[in-house]
Amino acid sequence: MKELFTHYNIGHFINQPSNQTEFEIMQFDNMEEPNVDDIHKHTFYEIIWTEKGVSKQTIDYKEYEVLPNSLFFISPNQVHQFEEWKPLKGGTILFTEDFFLLNHNNKDKLFELSFLDNFYANPCIQFDKENFRDIKQTIELISNEHKRHDKSETITQALLHILLAQIQRCIDTQTEKPISKNYLVVFKQFKNLLEQHFTANQTTSFFANHLNITSHHLNLITKNVTGKTSSEVIRARSILEAKRLLTFTDFTVSEIATQLNYFDSSYFAKLFKAETGKTPIVFKNQMSEKYRIR
């Protein structure tokens, strides 16, 4: 399926598209507005920290209010709508998966962080003043290291790992029953597989077989992580793509149903309405008005 959105690397966000940098940290006060489309995808992770001010961010049709003393997380392949940042005090940290895993062979280290690559968690987390102060101190250490003429990639990565561990500790402390790391790893493996195969409209057993676990166990894991069954997660990803196609292409409902392997377009329309509360045509008309698509 043809990609609908422009994928930007970190270089685009410092207005140096050919720059293959894998890490940047910037404060809003010193940041030039990046020359990127308002609606886009990242090839990297972004952490926005907000000390003062309020903004709105939109990820895949969901709007979030970003408040003071908060962090906002954007993961690769999420459709992000660019928002105004000038009134805010804070900044942004951009890093690639390769940078995070530098000198580490185990990708599970990344998967174990519940707030990254989890499309079912709130990407905006507000902290109490004490925890946010500790997080800000680590951000300042990262910023100071990055400004040095002899800056070290190894030190920067180590500080980034400390920051992410601090964030995870805060989340775990606030959570009555933290999700097990093993469950998070398997769920994110499932999510990656789903991203590769969502247009095929596959069943839970298809993904469970690829993960070498039973369908029952996969259901248990997805329910624990997201509160939804595996089938609901699979269907939600399909409906999300349908929303994107309805919004940003001229495809008919029947054509979209076929692309997503629903060969009965009337069944697809009923499923879409059950998931969204709107028919595909009503949704398309509303989005065309919102995004002024002609």
Residue entry with tokens 């280290």:
109
Q: Does residue 252 carry a pLDDT above 80? A: yes
| The pLDDT of residue 261 | 93
Cα-based distances in Å from 34 to 11, 15, 26, 206: 10, 6, 12, 41
Of 10-19, 80-89, 104-113, 182-191, which gets the smallest average pLDDT?
80-89
Q: Does residue 40 carry a pLDDT above 70? A: yes
Nearest to 167 by CA among 104, 112, 205, 214: 112
Q: What is the mean pLDDT of residues 100-117?
A: 82
Q: What is the pLDDT of residues 45-62, one digit of tens each?
A: 999 999 998 888 888 888
In whole numbers, what is the pLDDT of the chain averaged over residues?
Answer: 89
Record the tokens describing residue 240, joined without a space: 């999300």
Question: In terms of DSSP bridges, do strands 39-42 and 7-8 run parallel, antiparallel, or are they unpaired?
Answer: parallel
Q: Does residue 251 carry a pLDDT above 60? A: yes
Starting at the edge strand found earlier in the chain, the sheet holding 124-126 runs 23-27, 89-95, 45-52, 70-74, 124-126
| The pLDDT of residue 27 | 92
Q: Does residue 257 carry a pLDDT above 80? A: yes
Q: What is the mean pLDDT of residues 184-207?
A: 93
Q: What is the DSSP string of 179-193?
A: PPHHHHHHHHHHHHH
Nearest to 165 by CA among 187, 141, 189, 134: 134
Task: Name the pTM for this structure.
Answer: 0.86
* 69 touches 50 (CB < 8 A): yes
| The pLDDT of residue 293 | 47
